[in-house]
Every structure is written in structure tokens, then in C-alpha cells.
């Protein structure tokens, strides 16, 4: 049964001061722009437009909250790694995301989405370093697995496993497009929340 299907858009915030009350349980999604973060959120919640795949300008730089029930939430963090973004914007995102990971007690897990063809870019490594530092379990999702052969998928998983050895980091390959690997992502998230059927 899909326990994430009941996700409903709650609110978007642009600043840490605007954040919702820090209670209950949440799992956040992060990733470079174009990794398929919106597609993956839509696929695991079985809602075509929950996270807008056609990006609404403005919204993409905000932290978007989705409610599962009165105690549990999913959180869509702003995508990072745009080549054209100015340095001050980059610094702003960095401070927003780092601040969120640092101070959010209800944050119980981070799902870090990568394009499986380009795993662990600098900004992804930064995200993982913060999760390790602030002791938040992380799941590295290697998305767009439909673009690679079984062998190449295994190589990408091995690469990430080697690079994250000894840390509280899990790895899964997915295809949001083909709906592959989604159950593992669902189960990982549900384990970190406090949901009942
Ligand atoms: P976001 O910027 O990380 O939110 O990424 P989107 O969800 O908007 O996806 C970016 C592009 O990658 C879109 O063209 C999607 O159709 C495509 N995409 C997303 N997931 C997959 C996938 O699993 N396989 C393939 N082949 N394309 C995907």
C-alpha cells in the first residue's frame, strides 16, 4: 500500500524564519536541477502534478512542504547546480539548505536524487557531508536508470557505495519514468516517518 499517496501541498517558504513549526516527522528531497526530483516525487506519491515538473518560476527556489497527515510531511528542497546562477544566489541556497538541515529537529531523512549518469557532483557531496555532520540518514537515489544497462547501473551503485563507505547512507537505482525502484524509496521514507495505514 502506498502511504505517501495522500500527500497534499501545504506551503512554500523562502526563508528559515518562515518555516512551519518544527514538530512531527519529515523527509526531504534534494538534488541538482534536472535530476528528476519533481518526477520522482510525483511518481512515489502517484500524483501527476504534486511537485510541478514544469517549474513555476519562483517556486523552485523555495522549500515546499507537503502534508501526509497532521504529524508527517514530505519536503521538496530547492534544486541546485544551475550553471547560470549568480554567486549570491548560490550562497543564498547554500545557507537556506544548510540552515534547514542544521536546525530542523523533525527532519528524519534526506533523499538525495542524482542523475545516475552523473553521480556525486560537488553539490551532492556537500549535501551528504551536511547530512553526515548533522546525523540525518540519507538515501542516494540514482535516477534515470532507464538510460543505462544493468551492468552500468551496478557500476554506478558500486561507485557511490565506495565513495560513501562507513556512513549512514543507503543507495537505490530508480527510473521515475519507468516506475522502477520506487517501492524501495517509498519504504525507506515510510520507515523514517511515523505513519500508520
Ligand atoms: P527536476 O529539475 O530535478 O525536478 O527534474 P524533472 O522531474 O523536471 O525532470 C527533468 C527531466 O528529466 C524531464 O525532462 C523529465 O522527463 C526527465 N526525467 C525525470 N526522471 C526520469 C527518468 O527516470 N528517466 C528518464 N529517461 N528521464 C527522466
Q: Is the beta carbon of 144 within 6 A of some atom in ligand 1? A: yes
Predicted confidence at residue 116, as pLDDT, reads 98
Nearest CA to ligand 1 atom 8: 53
Distance 36 CA to ligand 1 centre (A): 4
Average pLDDT for 112-120: 98
Q: Is the pLDDT of residue 46 over 70?
A: yes
Q: Is the beta carbon of 53 within 6 A of some atom in ligand 1? A: yes
Contact between 111 and 188 under an 8 Å Cβ cutoff? The reply is yes
Maximum Cα–Cα distance across the chain? 46
State the CB neighbour count (10 A cutoff) for residue 93: 18
Angle at 121 between CA 116 and CA 127, to 5 degrees: 105
Average pLDDT for 178-182: 98
Among the listed residues 126, 146, 147, 150, the one whose alpha carbon sits nearest the alpha carbon of residue 138: 126
Q: Which residues on neighbouring strands pair with residue 12, listed in sequence order?
A: 64
Average pLDDT for 28-34: 94
Among the listed residues 188, 120, 124, 110, the one whose alpha carbon sits nearest the alpha carbon of residue 160: 120
Predicted confidence at residue 39, as pLDDT, reads 96
Q: Is the beta carbon of 31 within 6 A of some atom in ligand 1? A: yes
Question: Atom of ligand 1 at shortest distance to CA of 180?
Answer: 23
Q: Is the beta carbon of 176 within 6 A of some atom in ligand 1? A: yes
Contact between 143 and 113 under an 8 Å Cβ cutoff? The reply is yes
- The interaxial angle of helices 122-133 and 87-103, nearest 10 deg, is 30
Predicted confidence at residue 80, as pLDDT, reads 86
Q: Is the beta carbon of 38 within 6 A of some atom in ligand 1? A: yes
Distance 153 CA to ligand 1 centre (A): 17
Mean pLDDT of the chain: 93
Q: Is the pLDDT of residue 77 over 80?
A: yes
Those residues with Cβ within 8 angstroms of residue 45's Cβ, 6 or more apart along the chain or in another chain: 2, 4, 5, 7, 66, 74
CA 95/CA 89 separation, integer angstroms: 10
Amino acid at each position: 500500500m502506498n502511504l505517501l499517496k495522500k500527500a497534499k501541498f501545504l506551503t512554500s517558504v523562502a526563508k528559515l524564519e518562515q518555516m512551519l513549526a518544527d514538530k512531527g516527522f519529515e523527509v526531504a528531497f534534494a538534488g541538482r536541477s534536472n535530476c528528476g526530483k519533481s518526477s520522482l516525487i510525483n511518481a512515489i506519491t502517484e500524483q501527476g502534478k504534486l511537485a510541478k515538473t514544469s517549474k513555476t518560476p519562483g517556486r523552485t527556489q523555495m522549500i515546499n512542504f507537503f502534508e501526509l497527515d497532521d504529524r508527517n510531511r514530505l519536503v521538496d528542497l530547492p534544486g541546485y547546480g544551475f550553471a547560470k546562477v549568480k554567486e549570491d544566489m548560490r550562497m543564498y541556497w547554500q545557507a537556506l539548505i544548510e540552515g534547514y538541515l542544521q536546525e530542523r529537529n523533525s527532519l528524519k531523512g534526506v533523499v538525495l536524487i542524482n542523475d545516475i549518469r552523473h553521480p556525486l557532483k560537488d553539490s551532492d557531496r556537500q549535501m551528504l557531508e551536511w547530512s553526515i555532520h548533522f546525523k540525518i540518514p540519507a538515501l542516494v537515489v540514482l535516477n534515470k536508470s532507464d538510460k543505462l544497462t544493468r551492468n552500468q547501473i551496478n557500476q554506478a551503485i558500486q561507485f557511490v557505495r565506495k565513495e560513501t563507505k562507513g556512513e549512514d547512507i543507503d543507495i537505490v537505482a530508480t527510473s521515475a519514468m519507468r516506475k522502477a525502484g520506487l517501492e524501495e524509496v517509498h519504504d525507506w521514507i515510510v520507515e523514517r516517518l511515523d505513519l500508520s495505514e
